[in-house]
Amino acid sequence: MPHRARQQVTGSHRRITEYERRPHAITELEERWQLSIGERFDGEGDASWVAPVVRRDGSPGVLKLGMPHMEAEHEADGLRFWNGDPTVRLLEADDSLGAMLLERCEPGTPLRELPELEQDIVLGELSERLWKTPPAGHPFRPLSSMIEQWIGETLAHRAEWADEALVREGIEVFRELVNSEPAAVLLATDLHAGNVLRARREPWLVIDPKPFVGDPAYDATQHLLNCHGRVGFDPLGTVARYADHMNVDADRVRRWLFARLSAQPREDWTKDRWLGVARAIARTV
């Protein structure tokens, strides 16, 4: 499960409609926000359309049109809340089109180009600034809402499970964790080294947050899922060291990681390189 397992838009008609909408939306935004739009960035996949732009005053930006999916529903709200500390700034937004005009990170080098141990340090420093308590009346959903959706998707594929006992234990741990959360803060939930870019305003800025309110220990897991080598070799030691950088409870990080490895939805339940690691962690949960 490298990076985040994105929620897929259901139904071919819905997908076609959203794709056909993009050229019209891009033309409308180009005129309304007075943009000169460059070629789409490579590697964005199906979840969004992202391209560099130049604004009327000559300043650089990034235009992002997202495909509707549950996890990213409040991305613009999250960027407004963080207001550039330590994320990219939201310059304009059109919620009806799923469009955002964002600050451009220059040179934009991803943190993942640094050695993983250096990535750990930077992510720890950024997380301390991300984890704030939103004010009363905020629009953000609890982390439990995403976890319950995941559990539902996983249960719908029970016939494909390679290890039923392991998956059911993961589901149980998911529910235990969301029912025993410490003080809840706003999480990025997709915090990993591919979503942190080098910039001029600050050394590193976070992009592509998927905001939910919940346990900060959860936010340590996505990066670990992208560090298969060292997590596979020494899962408990790696979790403990990274949790220390993140200043969160290592036991909760370990349990969140186990739940995700064993019970998070995936495209193929029969071929999973993480099952051995999940079994190793299961003996300590």
Looking at the annotation, which residues are catalytic? 190
> For 60, what's the count of Cα atoms within 13 Å in the CB-facing half-sphere?
12
278 contacts 264 by C-beta, under 8 angstroms: no
Q: CA–CA separation, 11 vs 71, rounded Å?
A: 18
- CA–CA separation, 170 and 257 (whole Å): 9
Angle among Cα 27, 31, 36 to the nearest 5 degrees reads 85
The closest of 47, 21, 23, 48 to 37, measured between CA atoms, is 23
User: Please, are residues 151 and 171 in contact by the beta-carbon 8 Å criterion?
Assistant: yes
